Structure 1
Amino acid sequence: MSKSTYVIRLAILFFSLIFSGVWLVSQSYASGSHGDSHGGHEEHEEAKGPNGGRLLEKGDLTVELLIYESGVHPEFRAWVTRNGNSLENASLSVELERLGGQVDQISFSWDSNTAFYRGEGMVKEPHSFDVLVSVFLNGERTEWKYESHEGRVQISEQIAKKAGIKTAVAGPGSIKESVTLYGKTAIDHRSLSHVRARYPGTVITIKKALGDLVEKGEELATIESNDSLQTYPLVAPISGQIIDKQASRGEFSGERVLFTIANYDQLWAELQVFPTRRGQISRGQKVSITAGDRTFESTITSLAPGGNGQPFAIARAVIENSNDLWTTDLMVQGQVVTSENPVPLVVENQALQPLRNWTVVFVKVGQAYEVRPLKLGRTDGKVTEVLSGLNVGDRYVTENSYLIKADIEKSGAAHNH
């Protein structure tokens, strides 16, 4: 999509939302300068501790909680104090409930070298969750709950439909390896008929003209046989269009072709296969035939020498053309599938968006949409293998995902790490 088209589509959506009186309501954390670490994200500024983390207080007990990620994988760090005095004997845990219900349990241990509690394990992106912090000290448990949502927006079903946001369920698929061949369309030789007089004689009547459409068995002309002087009809052996006519009333038919009929309901894509590709191409392979904005999925049905000393073979694939969208001698490109590799999880390429230093998709749970950074594998131009960041069964946005990205960026819900 060009930049100008993108701007126009955003403007259309913007004004349609104004006139309908509803907006994409962001449930994102407030923007701000996070630097190399962050202590959670909300729509208002939370209290900060001396180490830059979120400050949680109850009575004389204070916890400062920070997600630290400068030069390390994101990890929790915490400082626990009572009446301003550092505590080393607290039992600290954090529970993170993510969109969709997944819960991450983080336990902490005291690090005497750094004088803080270090969370065990990496805090996976996105850092978007409902947080439960628990401190067990001297037989008493103290808890704090808060929301820390990052890269998340709320969009009603009505607005999503109006914006053209569509989704699909992530699941297994296959990555296709392919080669590109070039050629042109041609009439299927089985759909071309050269009509001659069965018994040479005089052409008495002509019933059809050049360009006429005829049905199989329909009369084209009448011939008077020179041998029997009997008149008989010359009929069309196939249905199609008369593309050549060499018969006129009163002429002697001889053995020449009087009518040529072509049926364009089926065409061939004739693709050139040069020696460097010959070992990769065989009958039965799937091929996607493209000419401009026209595409047809077909199969290679024959593979034969090019003839006349040509240095290539010809791979032929049928194009069904009952709607007359294709013509002969049209330059085409054929994407031939040479292998298909099944993989556990794929996403459609149109769903992928760049965000920060990631490639992401947006998952949908209810009316909430949230970013999912992905680790990607192989691609075939239509789908891409997902190595991590998404689960089988997740519903993700396939069409107009750029609108969700724009809303997240507008609301400040995609911070700089």
Structure 2
Amino acid sequence: MIRLNPSRRWIAASAILFAFAAAACGDKPAEKAGKQAEAAAADYERGPHRGRMLRDGDFALELTIFEEGPEPLFRLYPYVKDKPLDPRQVQATIDLTRLGGKIDRFAFTAIDDYLASPGVVSEPHSFDVAVNATHAGKASTWAYQSYEGRTVITADAARDGGVTTERAGSAWLGESLPLNGRIEITPEGQADVHARYPGRVMMLSLQLGDRVRRGQVVARVESSESLQTYSVTAPISGVVMAKNVGVGAITGNEPMLVIGDPNQVHAEFFLYPRDAERVRVGQRVEVRSLAGDHRINAEIEAVLPTADLTSQTLIAHVHLPSQNGAWRPGLGVQGTVQVGTTQTPLAVRTKAIQPFRDFQVVYAKVGDTYEVRMLELGRRTPEWTEVLGGLEPGTEYVVDGAFLIRADIDKSGASHDH
């Protein structure tokens, strides 16, 4: 696949559109005649019901697509010398040849003052139309093109514009859940330093932020009972996080110092009750710093069983390996946890989906022709979107460069008309 940076893609897009215009100016006679016929077809005669008039001498049919009900349906109004004709005197069929060769056939029966077919005219309403009718023993046939959301782009132009395609098929959809939390030192990475016996602090030279080693003497205390001085050592290696006494103070129940190891940290994520049942130990989480400059994939190692009374949230712990101070205790973090992965029979790349009229669509590719496919969508992830209807498995569709296809369709004016 050829990929262009955004600036080069816009240049390529301009070149493609210019190439289309230049090609139109240099049409061969047959090609020019075909395009003139298409232009003329867009300005067809309309009947009393705003449908397309099809004439054969005195006999005529007005073809409409009735779209006021739950599904679009064909209606045919027959006339003789422009006066309504009893529809029971007419037999009619319509064949719609779609891009790729599929044919939809419709047979009609008389209802009230028109002929109706129970078959739904599915989107897109883009096809080659063949109408056959019989009245008073005479057969009449008509054929015309009725395209919407369709354009032709050469392979070279599409390649230069960065257009890439894939085949629609099954995919694994991972449902994700966003989380917010903060970095905290693990319980094993912090310790309170207490005096063994109450007494007066005779020596305490450490300051906040000083580093200590496990077993290092951090203070000397004179026992109030024996008046003997004893040493207080650091139970772990780390940094002085809190200092609650000074030289001359009397020790009590409060710790003299709090030591923490900033290399032993984990992320604590807050789980709201609606999400708590979906989060489990062992699920993968992408952890990101708020600045976005650090990220890591890790596993949930614990979900605490009790909720905070004030916030009504549970806490999920995610272990973070030491990364030279990348994760600083107290800073906020964001996370995305995968809470479920299922396979769907049919999906398309989420980035391939484009707006068209009131629909979400992808552009199907058949040869050098591109055409919209209106989609019924299901679950969506940043990478994949489930397709419930509107697209056949195995259809080749545009993934990158869909804006080029859309721009050319808009330029051509291929509208929803009948």
TM-score for both structures, normalised by structure 1: 0.63
- The correspondence of residues 30-69 of structure 1 with structure 2, limited to 5 A, is 44-69=42-67
How far did 1:151 drift? 0.9
Tell whether the 8 Å contact from 1:298 to 1:319 is kept in structure 2 after alignment: no
2:400 corresponds to: 399
**1:121 is paired with a residue of what secondary structure?**
strand
2:169 maps to what in 1?
A: 171
Q: Does 1:283 align with 2:285?
A: no
Q: Indicate if the aligned counterparts of 2:360 and 2:374 stay in contact, CA closer than 8 A.
A: yes
Contact 1:107 1:119 in 2 (8 A): yes
Contact 1:10-1:403 at 8 Å conserved across structures? no
* % identity of equivalent residues: 32
The answer on whether the counterparts of 1:173 and 1:345 sit within 8 Å (CA) in structure 2 is yes
**1:69 counterpart letter in structure 2:** E
Partner amino acid, structure 1, of 2:124: P
1:272 and 2:273 equivalent? no
Identify unmatched segments of 5+ residues in structure 1: 28-39, 189-243, 247-255, 261-266
CA distance in 1, matches of 2:388, 2:296: 29
Name the amino acid aligned to 1:91.
Answer: Q
Q: Residue 316 of structure 1: which of 312, 315, 318 is its match? A: 318
CA contact (8 A) 1:362 1:396 kept: yes
Q: Aligned runs of 1:133-152 on 2, under 5 Å?
A: 133-137=131-135, 140-152=138-150
Matches of residues 168-317 of structure 1 in structure 2 within 5 Å?
Answer: 168-182=166-180, 270-274=267-271, 276=273, 279-290=277-288, 298-300=297-299, 302-303=301-302, 313=315, 315-316=317-318
Q: In the comparison of the two structures, how many residue pairs are matched?
A: 324
The C-alpha deviation readout for 1:281-337, integer Å capped at 9, x for no partner, is 33332333445667978451633779xx9x96553367899xx9x944486432111
Give the secondary structure class of the aligned counterpart of 2:174.
Answer: strand
1:153 alignment partner in structure 2: 151
- Deviation per CA, 1:20-51: give whole Å up to 9, x if none: x4459899xxxxxxxxxxxx997642233343
8 Å contact from structure 1 (residues 271, 334) kept in 2: no
Output one character per residue of 1:87-130: Cα deviation in whole Å (capped at 9) or x when no partner. 5322101011111222211111112x3x1212323211211011
Aligned to 1:103: 103
| Unaligned ranges ≥5, structure 2 | 25-30, 32-37, 187-210, 214-233, 239-263
Q: Could you tell me which residue of structure 1 aligns to residue 220 of structure 2? A: none
* 1:148 Cα deviation from its structure 2 partner: 0.7
What TM-score, normalized by structure 2, do the two folds share? 0.62
Given the superposition, is the C-alpha separation of residues 312 and 55 from structure 1 closer, same or farther in structure 2, using an over 3 Å criterion?
closer
- Structure-2 change in CA distance of 1:44 and 1:303 (3 Å): same
Residue by residue over 1:135-192, the C-alpha shift from the partner in whole angstroms, topping out at 9 and shown as x without a partner, is 134555432221111111111111112222222222223443332234578999xxxx
Residue identity opposite 1:303 in structure 2: A
Give per-residue Cα distances to partners, 1:207-255, cap 9 Å, x unaligned: xxxxxxxxxxxxxxxxxxxxxxxxxxxxxxxxxxxxx9x9xxxxxxxxx
* Larger relative helix fraction: 2
Q: 1 CA distance for matches of 2:322 and 2:414?
A: 49
CA–CA distance in structure 2, aligned partners of residues 102 and 10 of structure 1: 34
Is 1:90 the counterpart of 2:87 in the alignment? no
Contact kept, 8 Å, 1:285 with 1:300, in 2: the verdict is yes
The 1:25/1:320 distance shift into structure 2, 3 A limit, reads farther
Q: What amino acid is aligned across from residue 104 of structure 1 in structure 2?
A: D
Report the secondary structure of 2:100's partner residue.
coil
Q: Which has the larger radius of gyration?
A: 2
- SS of 2:346's partner is strand
- Compared CA separation, residues 57 and 167, structure 1 to 2 (3 A): same
Question: C-alpha distance in 2, partners of 1:373/1:343?
Answer: 19
Question: How far does the alpha carbon of each residue in 1:354-394 deviate from its partner, in whole angstroms, 9 at most, with x for none?
Answer: 22222222211111111122222232343222222112212
Deviations 1:244-281 (A, max 9, x none): 9x9xxxxxxxxx9xxx9xxxxxx997353557455433
Letter in 2 for 1:382: E
Give the whole-Å Cα distance in 2 for the aligned partners of 1:53 and 1:150: 16
Aligned partner of 1:375 in structure 2 is: 376
| Aligned equivalent of 1:118, options 116, 119, 122 | 116
Q: 2:141 & 2:161 partners in 1: Cα distance?
A: 41
Is contact 1:95–1:131 with CA below 8 Å preserved after alignment?
Answer: yes
Give SS of 1:410's match.
helix
Kept in 1, the 8 Å contact 2:64–2:74? The answer is yes
Q: Is the 8 A contact 1:130 1:147 kept in 2?
A: yes
Would you say the 8 A contact 1:65–1:77 is kept in 2? yes
Asked if the contact 1:356–1:416 (Cα under 8 Å) also holds between the matched residues in 2, the reply is no
